[in-house]
Amino acid sequence: MSHETFHYRNLDEIRQKARDLGAFVPLCDTTSALFRPLELAGRTVANRIAFQPMEGTDGTGAGAPGPLTWRRYERFAQAGPGLIWFEAVATVPEGRASAHQLYLTEENVGEFARLVDHMRELCLKRHGYVPVIIMQATNSGRYSKPKGVPEPLVAYRCPPLEEGLDQPFRVLTDEELQRYEAAFETTARLCRTAGFDGMDIKCCHRYLACELLSAYTRPGPYGGSYENRTRFLKNAYRAAGAAVSGDFFLTSRLNVYDGFAYPYGFGVHPGSLDVDLTEPVRLIRELKEEFGIPLINVTMGNPYKNPHVNRPYDHGNYIPDEHPLTGVGRMMGAVAEIQRQLPDLPVLGSAFSYLRQFSPCLAAGMVSGGHCALAGFGRMAFADPDFVDQCRKGILDPAAVCVACGGCAALLRAGRPAGCIVRDREVYHL
């Protein structure tokens, strides 16, 4: 069924459409399941609502949080989600996605520490608990733009991601990859010093570690076999692990499906574009057994080439050839299948915002059905972080929700501070 925009007036209309599409969109009329605490890595997560990492492109030139970064995280902390997954923070200067992407260094770690402390204080004061705060550590790889123009660091030449782009693509050497693995040690040490609960070795959306998972065509120790394609991620864990002590933990936000045909996509069935979770499940199990990850954040797609897979939308740069609820169902189905195969590992699901005022009912449906432990919201947190409290009532105020218009993503792509152009328009506009 082809693309159409959001027009549902109640849960039954969504249920009917999902049935027609054969999409897995479990909805629950009540949302109490979202307000049961979860034990995680020696902490209590106060509720099942997580804020997903949302890059703001509003750091200082040196990579420290800027005034708008502070504003975003103050709003997030005051809203009271159980878990805040702090946005992508660069591990090396040349791997920054923009000249204003956050970049954690010896010089600015104190500023990150002040922000993390402040977030805990704000949430504690208003809600009586502190959020678990995980920092996403990244190397933007192919999407590096440290001076505002593309300077791609690519794992292998990937035609589906390069067609129509007139820019040089230099494939990283094995030695460069080793240096980038090692950089995760410094970042992990600084991340712990800054007071985060844990660090995410980012492996999603086709940034460097994620791109390597599909490096079937790369020769040498980082390409071809499963062992080789996962080498960078595991070595990054080993490097970061050397800096880990106490109850600080490592985890990942992982693409379990890229949406590009073999040999250019991870989690994709060879010979079709279907989801194939064989390797993703194996990898998550190994990360749990070898590195003790206490949870996994599951996501999909590529925000540049197939953003509808990553975040189903009404309006974007192109009209997808699938219905948005098919995209929601693909994500929810994969999250649920991973949680089913790994019942002892809390799974954090992605892409709940498309359902707008009904998204708490999807989150509750996923959590109460045991399909995931935590429901992660991205765009909705930009639109109105205070939706967390309103989730108690079930359906949200339609006048305050994300409308999946793509405005925040357009700001990000333009290298401008990102936020909601509809609900926070005094601050953000295209």
**Cα–Cα separations (whole angstroms), residue 164 to 160, 302, 309, 414:** 9, 16, 20, 18
Q: How many residues bind ligand FMN (CB under 6 A)?
A: 26
Closest CB to ligand FMN among residues 91, 350: 350
| Residue 311 is a binding residue for ligand FMN (CB under 6 A) | yes
**Cα–Cα separations (whole angstroms), residue 174 to 212, 231, 241:** 12, 11, 21
Q: Retrieve residue 85's tokens.
A: 């997954």
- What is the spatial distance between Cα 423 and Cα 406, in angstroms, rounded to a whole number? 13
Element housing 306 (H / E): none
Q: Give min distance, CB of 293 to ligand FMN, in A.
A: 16
Query: Looking at 184-192, 266-274, 284-292, 345-353, which segment touches ligand FMN (CB under 6 A)?
Result: 345-353
Q: Give min distance, CB of 379 to ligand FMN, in A.
A: 3
Closest CB to ligand FMN among residues 17, 72: 72
| Residue 329 is a binding residue for ligand FMN (CB under 6 A) | no
Closest CA to 235 of 195, 203, 258: 203
- The answer to whether the CB of 267 falls within 8 A of the CB of 277 is yes
| Residue 409 is a binding residue for ligand FMN (CB under 6 A) | yes
Query: Of 291, 352, 387, 428, which lies in the binding site for ligand FMN, with binding defined by CB under 6 A?
Result: 352
Q: Retrieve residue 50's tokens.
A: 């997580």
Cis status of the peptide bond prior to 320, with omega within 30 of 0: no
What are the E-state strand segments in 100-182? 132-138, 153-154, 170-171
| Residue 412 is a binding residue for ligand FMN (CB under 6 A) | yes
Closest CB to ligand FMN among residues 216, 375: 375
| Residue 351 is a binding residue for ligand FMN (CB under 6 A) | yes
Torsion sign across C-alpha atoms 19, 25, 26, 31: negative
The total of other beta-carbon atoms located within 10 Å of residue 221's CB is: 14
Query: Of 47, 52, 98, 108, which lies in the binding site for ligand FMN, with binding defined by CB under 6 A?
Result: 52
- The answer to whether the CB of 214 falls within 8 A of the CB of 255 is no
Closest CB to ligand FMN among residues 98, 339: 98
- What is the spatial distance between Cα 197 and Cα 79, in angstroms, rounded to a whole number? 19
For residues 143 to 182, the per-residue mask of contacts with ligand FMN, x marking binding by CB under 6 A and - elsewhere, is ----------------------------------------
- What is the spatial distance between Cα 234 and Cα 239, in angstroms, rounded to a whole number? 9
| Residue 58 is a binding residue for ligand FMN (CB under 6 A) | no
Q: Return the DSSP state at 428.
A: -
Number of Cα atoms under 13 Å in the Cβ half of residue 262 = 10
| Residue 136 is a binding residue for ligand FMN (CB under 6 A) | yes
Closest CB to ligand FMN among residues 294, 327: 327
Q: Give min distance, CB of 49 to ligand FMN, in A.
A: 11
Closest CB to ligand FMN among residues 336, 412: 412
| Buried b or exposed e, range 327-349, using 16+ CB within 10 angstroms | bbbbbbbbbbbbbeeeeebbbbb
Q: Compute the chain's Rg from CA coordinates.
A: 20
Q: Give min distance, CB of 87 to ligand FMN, in A.
A: 4
Q: Give min distance, CB of 350 to ligand FMN, in A.
A: 5
| Residue 308 is a binding residue for ligand FMN (CB under 6 A) | no
Closest CB to ligand FMN among residues 216, 237: 237
| Residue 350 is a binding residue for ligand FMN (CB under 6 A) | yes
Q: Give min distance, CB of 382 to ligand FMN, in A.
A: 7
- The answer to whether the CB of 359 falls within 8 A of the CB of 37 is no
| Residue 401 is a binding residue for ligand FMN (CB under 6 A) | no
| Residue 108 is a binding residue for ligand FMN (CB under 6 A) | no
For residues 358 to 397, the per-residue mask of contacts with ligand FMN, x marking binding by CB under 6 A and - elsewhere, is -------------------xxxx-----------------
Closest CB to ligand FMN among residues 191, 218: 191
DSSP-derived 3-state class of residue 88: strand
- What is the spatial distance between Cα 10 and Cα 175, in angstroms, rounded to a whole number? 55
Closest CB to ligand FMN belongs to which residue? 378
- The answer to whether the CB of 382 falls within 8 A of the CB of 418 is yes
Query: Of 48, 189, 253, 356, which lies in the binding site for ligand FMN, with binding defined by CB under 6 A?
Result: 253
Number of Cα atoms under 13 Å in the Cβ half of residue 412 = 18
Query: Of 408, 417, 420, 421, which lies in the binding site for ligand FMN, with binding defined by CB under 6 A?
Result: 408
| Residue 187 is a binding residue for ligand FMN (CB under 6 A) | no
Please give the residue ranges that form the binding site for ligand FMN (CB under 6 A): 52-55, 87-88, 136, 204-205, 253, 299, 310-311, 350-354, 377-380, 408-409, 412, 418
